[in-house]
A and B are shown apart, each in its own frame.
Chain A
Amino acid sequence: MKILVTVKRVIDYNVKARVKADNSDVDLANTKMALNPFCEIAVEEAIRLKESGAATEVIVVSIGPKACQEQIRTSLALGADRGIQIETDSMPESLNVAKLLAKVVEAEQPGLIIMGKQAIDSDNNQTGQMLGALLDMPQGTFASKVALVGDKVHVTREVDGGLQTVALNMPAIVTTDLRLNEPRYASLPNIMKAKRKPLAVQTPADLGIELKNHTKLLKVEAPTERQAGIKVNSIEELIEKLQNEAKVI
């Protein structure tokens, strides 16, 4: 069984995003970029399935400008076998991403597709579900455990009230939650080896997809800043402030 993993290049999670002065978008010039943390977990899960003998090949796909090859190479260094970049000028909307991925899935025929549950830049939490709809495949979103049971995959999902387990026919889509696993680090020899692993570049036109905008970004603003308040010296003072000044207890 092949596993397809999708990865996205995003702002490093430790960096605080800054809004551009003209309010057109977030300023990413000279900002540290990295593999989206949820995608990193997806790569790790796929590699573990390969190590357990359940999967034969791990293919990693990223969509975006040339720079996203860096994140594909990172994934190859972690243990993925080969990469596919779909080159676009900017990051397309989720639905376009899902349509591009659907074409890759049709060509590669993976048994399992593992994706992050959300990208930490757009915070959309959509692409995996959209891909599921386009391919009429079942989905196990927000996964904290993935187990192959017979010809099905059992996915334990993190839901509001606790955990829920679903059984999905394969091929299926899994989107990862943070607690699925602890991603490994790439060793230097593996980073060197990753440079020689195959990486194919395709365009949306190659896949027969025309990108269409469904939304228009009108403006991006900084949120209203909260001001730091005061420091109190004791619990008595704190309770007094909460009762008389803030009136919340």
Chain B
Amino acid sequence: MAILIIAEHDNAVLKAATLNTITAASQMGEECHLLVAGKSCRVVAEQGALVNGVSKVLLTDNEAYEYQLAENMSKLVTELAPNYSHVVSAATTTGKNFMPRVAALLDVAQISDIIKVESSNIFQRPIYAGNAIATVESLDAIKVITVRGTAFDAASASDVSAPIESLDIVNDAQISEFVSEEVAVSERPELTAAKVIISGGRGMGNGENFTLLESVADKLGAAVGASRAAVDAGFVPNDMQVGQTGKIVAPDLYIAVGISGAIQHLAGMKDSKIIVAINKDEDAPIFQVADYGLVADLFDVLPELTDKL
């Protein structure tokens, strides 16, 4: 049976996390169908049709799916699921929101945030803030799975466009509605997709000092992240948080500045290829995972780093 992948998008652009999810799904079975549910989102379906590994795109275009509210999305996906062996989405806040509802409606388990596909029914996932890796076998007929994007490569583009099939299924539960949103605007690369990330912690002292990181980020084309301490102290908004409760990243280069390296922060970044730590406390736990450590005052070295890059 085929695999159903639920596309993440903002009604205009297919989100990068979906490309990683398609790669993971392709390892579970042969045929992958991509569901694009939204409002005026045909353009997203067209983007999805051009991804390697997608053999068909299902498009549902209705107001009920505009903000991908969990109550409506879960009913739509549950209706389609019996034709599939696997239902898969990215473990983003959107996927995490509606997928467990799908699982419960189907009376099956959800396997969250997988990092490896061992076979069509055996998966690996991190537990205890990444301090242990569990290998889990699914005993259910339909497997509901969310995928950790950083653990899989992005699917490439294809020359051939897969067929797009329009579905006319409307599920408006009418028990919830969208009120408003506040989107953080940034010209830098998206945190979860960036090749280089520079993050600041409590050691940054205040929000203004994050401009020191931004100067370095501009030179490196990097995204700027933060530890929970920096977010809680109000230095930066929460969507910049890297860690167990924030975003999970795995860039080529992660530069941790003024971050001690608590378990919860390491959970979000320890799969980075190269980790650099800049901290004035030489006993900070971050140095135990850093490939290159510099014991120094960040206020001295950050301007120097910007100058020399």
CB within 8 Å of B: which residues of A? 11, 13-14, 16-19, 26, 93-95, 98, 117-118, 120-134, 136-139, 141-142, 144, 154, 157-169, 177-179, 213-223, 226, 228-236, 238-239, 241-242, 246, 248-249
- Identify 29 residue pairs between A and B in the complex whose beta-carbon atoms are under 8 Å apart, listed by A's number: A17-B131, A126-B112, A127-B100, A130-B103, A131-B104, A133-B100, A133-B105, A137-B175, A139-B176, A154-B179, A160-B94, A161-B183, A163-B182, A164-B178, A165-B179, A165-B181, A166-B178, A168-B175, A213-B139, A214-B138, A216-B137, A217-B134, A219-B134, A221-B132, A226-B289, A235-B301, A236-B308, A242-B276, A248-B274
Interface segment, one of B35-43, B67-75, B155-163: B67-75
Interface segment, one of B24-32, B49-57, B203-211, B244-252: B244-252
Whether A214 lies near B108 (C-beta < 8 A) is yes
CB distance from B308 to the nearest CB of A (A): 6
Whether A248 lies near B252 (C-beta < 8 A) is yes
**Of B100, B110, B138, B275, most A-chain CB atoms within 10 Å:** B100
A166: contacting residue among B108, B122, B177, B184, CB under 8 A: B177
Whether A136 contacts B132 in the complex (CB less than 8 A), given A179-B232, A231-B295, comes out as no
**In the docked arrangement, what's the CA distance between A236 and B192, Å?**
28
Chain A residue contacts of B239, Cβ below 8 A = 158-162
Chain A residue contacts of B179, Cβ below 8 A = 154, 165-167
Whether B294 lies near A215 (C-beta < 8 A) is no
Whether A130 contacts B101 in the complex (CB less than 8 A), given A160-B247, A166-B178, comes out as yes
Chain A residue contacts of B215, Cβ below 8 A = none
**In the docked arrangement, what's the CA distance between A232 and B270, Å?**
20
A129: contacting residue among B101, B133, B282, B293, CB under 8 A: B101
**In the docked arrangement, what's the CA distance between A229 and B108, Å?**
44
A14: contacting residue among B67, B263, B309, CB under 8 A: B263
B287: contacting residue among A144, A169, A213, A228, CB under 8 A: A228
**In the docked arrangement, what's the CA distance between A239 and B276, Å?**
11
**Of B127, B238, B253, B274, most A-chain CB atoms within 10 Å:** B127
